[in-house]
Structure 1
Amino acid sequence: MTEQQTERLVAYILQRIQPPVLVMVTAAEGYRHEICQRLARCGERLHLALDGNLHDAERWLALGEAQPAEIWQHALPSAPYKALLLPFLDVPLAHDLLNGTLHSPVAQRVHDALLAGIPVLALRYLCDPHSELNALRGVAHPGYAAQASATLERLAACGVTLGTLNELLDRLAISAKPQAAGESARRYLTVTDIVNNPGLADSPDALLTDAAVDFMKAQKKITLPR
């Protein structure tokens, strides 16, 4: 067995023994193809819960183990999940969670996860009036934008972690990294850390999350030769 084959085998075994992430996919539009592609190479063990009849269901099912609708729509699956991930947190779902109406099975399962102490991670770009996607769609009324921002703050107060995909994948990677002796005081650098201070990555003893490593590789690829 070559060194490369050994590394792939070790990576596969580590992925199988770590708790899965439950990804709840709704029909909200925006960056669906890009998000799916990124999750396909995130290195996490994924369980998929698909809401309704999605036009791109086959694409999402290729990411991991599908959870039967007759199970997850009535109760949170029994697996010891590392986190519940919402790639498409739109305004209706956000208000459903905050108001406690829980009309949809997705909202009900998010509610169950919060009660069970399972971390809930959500991409903020659909709800955030200042996101790139909503900027492309047009400028929102200032009053509505303020209300949407307040909704995000209330969601965060309820225990929902909002962020970019890089930030959320960094959180998942950090929670999975084993600490060696003497590393208790050292923190893994995230993509946000590197963007804010690129020099941090040049330190010989720098520890990078998987998302940060991917970001650094991408930066090197797009650097133009002098």
Structure 2
Amino acid sequence: MSIRTIILLPALTLLFSCATNEEALPYIENKQLVEAYKHLASSLSQTRKPLLYQGGHQATNCRDYIKLATKHNLDETLYNQTVKSEYLVCDALDILSRSGGVSPVPTDVSTVGEQLLTQLDLRSFPSSLYRASSEHSHTLKSLYPGKTSASGTIASFNSKDWSFTLEVVAITRVNNNEFPDWIVWVLDEAKTGNYRGYSTLIIYDPNTQQSMKGSLYPKIL
């Protein structure tokens, strides 16, 4: 079965579709992830900077990372914080390989970033903004109304000292019901100092929720 690439303008979003169109496949928005998914086998085996785990274990490619991620805790070092960003694509490829596609294909994702900005509960996953959240104020928009923005599938907060970005990189069906789920990358970075935090979330059934919750992937031990 061959795969062809469709370019959806103006967003330049790439979607892979079987030539027979009988099998629904995931909708992928992020260009880096598009290329990785297009060459899945080589992407999983591609050598990356070593990611270090407690007990002396290390991952140097996605296959190692996927095996180790649910069995061992990462070393909490500045080096690891930075290198972890290279393995976000591994999280997404692992999720996509276990998921069903979406049908019909999303035709308008222009409001996705705004939904992240106004609906994602920052208390539902670990980040630097977790402690800043409260019962009455727990979204990017409500916490920092003058310092946030949304564009396409990206929501962001920027201040003099901090940068926090949420990006929906793909839409697929993870929990096998009729509603699409979102794969989200979190980039959480201090502009001054050494803090770096990178993680992957799954938002299940976002279009059925008033308040979205992000589930960390893979789950921390």
Shorter-normalised TM-score: what interval?
under 0.3
Return the TM-score normalized by structure 2. 0.25
Return the TM-score normalized by structure 1. 0.25
The structure in which a higher percent of residues are strand is 2
Which of the two has higher C-alpha Rg?
1
Q: RCO higher in 1 or 2 (8 Å CA, sep ≥ 6)?
A: 2
